Amino acid sequence: MAEAARRRRPDRVPAPAALRGVRGGVVRESAPDLDVLIHHRLRLGILSALGAAESLTFNELKSILKTSDGNLSVHARKLEEASYVTCTKRFEDRRPKTEYRLASAGRDALHRYLAHMEAIIRTTRDTLRR
């Protein structure tokens, strides 16, 4: 059992049972595992904001997400380590300027995440209509 737990990716959670296989004689649509890295409110906000813009500075993201420097820095770094965003640091008028862009891996991950959320919503709505 411990062996199986080690083989699982720690950043993934299985799709909800309602989205997998056959349940109660009704075939449900399947969805990929939920990307827990994106599921955090602030990281989802960062990816969503970057998906709507070519690039955003640290201060722009901080303002959009209404968060602190420390919080934004920690969560942006996690996305950068996963290659979901790229970070460019430079100086402008002797002031540091950090700029973020959505990487192609981040765009793909965000598309998968949104498709998963749409599948959950669709399945829940179908279940509630019964």
- pTM value is 0.73
Domains parsed from the chain with CATH numbers: 34-129 (1.10.10.10)
pLDDT-derived band at 33, boundaries 50, 70, 90: confident
* Integer Cα distance of 85 and 105 in angstroms: 8
Please report the pLDDT score of residue 130 as a whole number.
81
| pLDDT tens digits along 49-65 | 999 999 999 999 999 99
